């Protein structure tokens, strides 16, 4: 009798909890597959497997336990297969969004003929994957870039060249950090394949307007990625919108990581220029040489070239502005969110002694006794080195002085400079580091001490004591932002100004919850690609308006060295006696620089450690 009474209760519990548990498991698995980024077929298989397991479990209700476990175990087995396969696929990227875009007419270059493709509305011609140097493979690994050989026939330039060798971050971890930073999760199930990669990576991409105009200004963009990642095919800096404003836009690729910034005494000895450690930088300069030689074929003006870059790309821009090899190869510079023009660069630059020591450590890591042996290590194995090669160095060839000293001696290359930074530059670096142990009033001084030492940790805490009391987490991010990004730009602006360079400085302040004012948040605005973003929920009309303003500022600067133009809020040149910046955000216009006290403390700290 008692057993009959419990049966209805068990039945009720089953029909409540079994669907609920199934729903939770389904949601978690789909969440994982969404973050893992593909392929979509796995998500379809997962949904089918869960549904089948759900139905079979219902059919086996009332059977022996061992039978009831069959659908569960089958689902576990299915996921043991699916989850490891849930990662982005790899493909060659098309130069344009359309699948069957029409080819352009054949274009003659110095090294041979090419054909590109028109964009969707045929307002722009795109030529992608053009080699500007010989593939740096085999005996050319860790050598200065060599002129590309001529080719026969017509080269198809409808697809981007392979990106440089790099280690990809786990997309699930990246997704979790993004959710943490944004404070929200918006599922999109857009499975985006990764671009193919190769050691054969020295390619550039050209966007030019579909008209017959000649002597157009040229913007050469150097991608970021800590000198260890990235690609010239980034959608945020796609060149179509700039080309529509009668600018020839060119993005370049260069060697990264251990392939681009490895240094070793034996390489110094074998080089006729006695250089090592700056192969990626030398690639960038070689690309500029190629562009100068071929500019007229694209309708560009070799005497009116602006170099631009963000993050490590901006560090590279400041290095090119400091390199004697690049003198005369460009006219103006745009630097976004990184600079080496500071007494001691906080990142992407190191002493040659440190570079050579790491090179010797890598040699030991791979148990090689000579450079020739290390050159024979396969690229996909070498890229897994435990040592991070993410810095340029004073090699005596590409860089004969520290960039700060170049500016101090008045030997920098640019005639005009547009540079600046975002409000929350450091968040993308600090938040992942302390993801499971956020900074608070109790630990902020200890964390500052690990960076600045006891004396200056105390000074930071005194400078920001009120802000630490209110929000230590945000204050830590702000201090890091000032040290790593903001103050180096302040130094660059002042040093360039002192040398007679016309400088335009900005601060990007646009908040939109998704891209925000974090590191790299401004790129999609500055190059006009807000309206092209596939995740349309991330932007609204105010974002589109700001993007149009910034695109025109950037294009005007590329054309004339002055960002101002009709219909735009006046952007006054930088003057260190006034310390004003152009705010680019919900408000566009001049504002005071609120970080001067922090900049003074950083300058004092640099003098202290360099004594």
d(CA 183, CA 178) in angstroms, rounded, equals 8
Tokens of 146: 């060599």
The Cα–Cα gap between 463 and 476 comes to 12
**H-helix or E-strand spanning residue 430:** helix 427-433
- What gap in Å lies between CA 566 and CA 552, rounded to an integer? 10
One of 158, 251, 311, 315 is an active-site residue; which one? Answer: 311
The answer to whether 296 and 302 are in contact (CB under 8 A) is yes
Residue with tokens 């971050």, as numbered in its chain: 169
Q: Is the dihedral of CA 110, 112, 113, 117 positive or negative?
A: negative
Active-site residue flag, 271? no
**CB-count burial class (<10 Å; 0-12, 13-18, 19+) for 562:** middle
Asked whether the beta carbons of 468 and 606 are under 8 A apart, the reply is: no
3-state secondary structure 5-33: HHHHHHHHHHHHHHHHHHHHHHHHHHHHH
288, 343, 605 from 611: Cα distances, Å: 38, 12, 10
What is the chain's length?
Answer: 611
CA angle 340, 347, 463 (to 5 degrees): 90
Report the distance separating Cα 526 and Cα 504, nearest Å.
Answer: 14
> Can you tell me the distance from the alpha carbon of 131 to that of 111, in angstroms, rounded to the nearest whole number?
9
As annotated, the active-site residues are 311
């Amino acid at each position: 009798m008692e057993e009959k009474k419990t049966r209805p209760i068990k039945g009720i519990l089953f029909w409540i909890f079994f669907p609920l548990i199934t729903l939770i498991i389904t949601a978690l698995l789909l969440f994982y597959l969404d973050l893992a980024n593909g392929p979509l077929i796995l998500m379809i298989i997962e949904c089918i497997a869960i549904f089948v397991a759900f139905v079979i479990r219902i059919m086996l209700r009332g059977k022996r336990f061992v039978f009831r476990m069959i659908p569960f175990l089958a689902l576990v087995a299915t996921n043991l297969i699916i989850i490891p396969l849930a990662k982005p696929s790899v493909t060659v990227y098309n130069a344009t969004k359309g699948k069957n875009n029409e080819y352009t007419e054949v274009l003659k270059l110095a090294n041979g003929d090419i054909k590109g493709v028109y964009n969707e509305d045929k307002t722009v011609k795109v030529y992608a994957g053009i080699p500007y140097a010989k593939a740096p493979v085999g005996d050319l690994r860790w050598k200065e870039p060599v002129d590309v050989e001529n080719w026969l026939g017509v080269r198809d330039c409808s697809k981007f060249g392979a990106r440089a060798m790099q280690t990809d971050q786990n997309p699930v971890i990246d997704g979790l950090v993004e959710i943490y930073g944004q404070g929200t999760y918006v599922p999109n199930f857009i499975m985006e394949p990764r671009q193919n990669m190769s050691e054969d990576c020295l390619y550039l991409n050209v966007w030019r307007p579909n008209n017959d105009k000649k002597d157009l200004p040229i913007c050469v963009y150097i991608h970021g990625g800590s000198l260890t990642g990235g690609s010239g095919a980034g959608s945020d800096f796609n060149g179509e919108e700039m080309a529509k404003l009668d600018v020839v836009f060119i993005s370049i690729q260069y060697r990264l990581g251990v392939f681009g910034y490895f240094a070793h005494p034996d390489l110094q000895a074998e080089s006729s220029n006695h250089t090592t450690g700056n192969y990626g930088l030398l690639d960038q300069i070689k690309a500029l040489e190629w562009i100068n030689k071929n500019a007229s074929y694209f309708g560009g003006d070799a005497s009116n070239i602006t170099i631009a870059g963000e993050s490590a790309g901006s560090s590279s821009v400041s290095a090119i502005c400091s390199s004697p090899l690049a003198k005369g190869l460009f006219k103006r510079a745009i630097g976004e969110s990184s600079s080496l023009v500071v007494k001691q660069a906080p990142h992407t630059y190191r002493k040659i002694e440190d570079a050579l020591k790491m090179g010797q450590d890598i040699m030991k890591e791979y148990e090689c006794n000579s450079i020739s042996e290390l050159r024979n290590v396969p690229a996909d194995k070498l890229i897994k080195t435990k040592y991070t090669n993410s810095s340029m160095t004073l090699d005596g060839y590409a860089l004969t002085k520290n960039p700060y000293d170049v500016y101090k001696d008045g030997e920098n290359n640019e005639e005009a400079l547009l540079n600046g930074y975002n409000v929350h530059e450091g968040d993308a670096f600090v938040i992942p580091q302390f993801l499971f142990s956020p900074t608070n009033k109790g630990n902020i001084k200890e964390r500052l001490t690990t960076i600045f030492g006891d004396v200056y940790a105390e000074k930071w805490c005194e400078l920001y004591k009120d802000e630490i009391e209110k929000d230590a987490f945000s204050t830590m991010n702000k201090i890091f932002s000032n040290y790593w990004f903001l103050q180096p730009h302040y130094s660059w602006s002042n040093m360039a100004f002192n040398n007679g360079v016309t400088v335009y400085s900005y601060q990007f302040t646009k908040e939109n919850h998704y891209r925000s004012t974090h590191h790299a948040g401004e790129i999609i605005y500055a190059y006009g690609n807000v309206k092209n973003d596939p995740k349309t929920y991330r932007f609204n009309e105010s974002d589109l308006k700001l993007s149009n303003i910034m695109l025109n500022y950037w294009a005007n600067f590329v054309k004339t060295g002055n960002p101002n133009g009709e219909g735009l809020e006046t952007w006054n040149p930088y003057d260190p006696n006034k310390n004003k910046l152009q705010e680019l955000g919900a408000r566009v216009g001049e504002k005071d620089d609120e970080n001067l006290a922090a900049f003074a403390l950083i300058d004092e700290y640099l003098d202290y450690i360099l004594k």
